[in-house]
Amino acid sequence: MELRLTRLDAGMKSALDDFVAEWSEPMVPAAVRQYKGDIKEYLDYLEMMEKDPPRLLVPATVFFLTDGEKILGAIDIRHFLNDGLARYGGHIGYGVRPSRRGKGLAAQMVKLAVPFMRSTGLEKVMICCKKDNAASAKTIINCGGVLERETEVFEKGEKMTGQVYWVDYK
């Protein structure tokens, strides 16, 4: 396997379509949900989110974890936190395609993103997950995450417990 973090380009449309088609539950990170089949429109969205996001959002860069021509996962790196993200959400959102989970790919993706994070000034990052998501908690811990706190979060009107971890890359 030759894993790389790659910025999306128009030539990756079929790989992106294949990646998206595999999901039955909501795709993560949420930035990938913005893809509706039009690659140019999605590339414009990614550029806007990186350079000039809408009010109340923060600049963010999305990379795709690739092995050759296949997309295995995606990671959304927020360049800084606003008040909402500082409470719960954090700097990083990631997701691995369902057929490739359980192989440590999410942790590899986070580790591959460290040079980019450092280039944006991030030496310490917040990563969050739901308390009942043992796989994500394991990923965060494998990346050096230290649990700071648990907090109540609401998703689709349902109350749940979220966990807030910090990873120090100094």
- What is the rounded average pLDDT of the residues 56-73? 97
Q: Which domain holds residue 56?
A: 3-168
pLDDT at 19: 97
What tens digit of pLDDT does each residue of 105-142 get? 999 999 999 999 999 999 899 999 999 999 999 999 99
Residue 83, domain CATH: 3.40.630.30
Is the pLDDT at 1 greater than 80? The verdict is: no
Band the pLDDT of 170: cuts 50, 70, 90: confident
Asked if 167 and 125 touch (Cβ cutoff 8 Å), the reply is yes
pLDDT, the chain, mean: 95
C-alpha–C-alpha distance, residues 158 and 70, integer Å? 35
Q: How many CB atoms lie within 10 A of CB 81?
A: 16
Q: Based on the structure, what is the number of domains in the chain?
A: 1
State pTM to two decimals: 0.94
Helices (H), 52-156: 83-87, 105-112, 114-119, 134-142
Q: How sure is the predictor about 161, in pLDDT bands with cuts at 50, 70 and 90? A: very high
The per-residue pLDDT for range 66-112, each reduced to its tens digit, is 999 999 999 999 999 999 999 999 999 999 999 999 999 999 999 99
The average pLDDT across 19-46 equals 95
CA distances 65 to 4, 82, 94, 143, 154, Å, are 6, 26, 10, 16, 29
Q: How far apart are CA 74 and CA 30, in angstroms?
A: 10
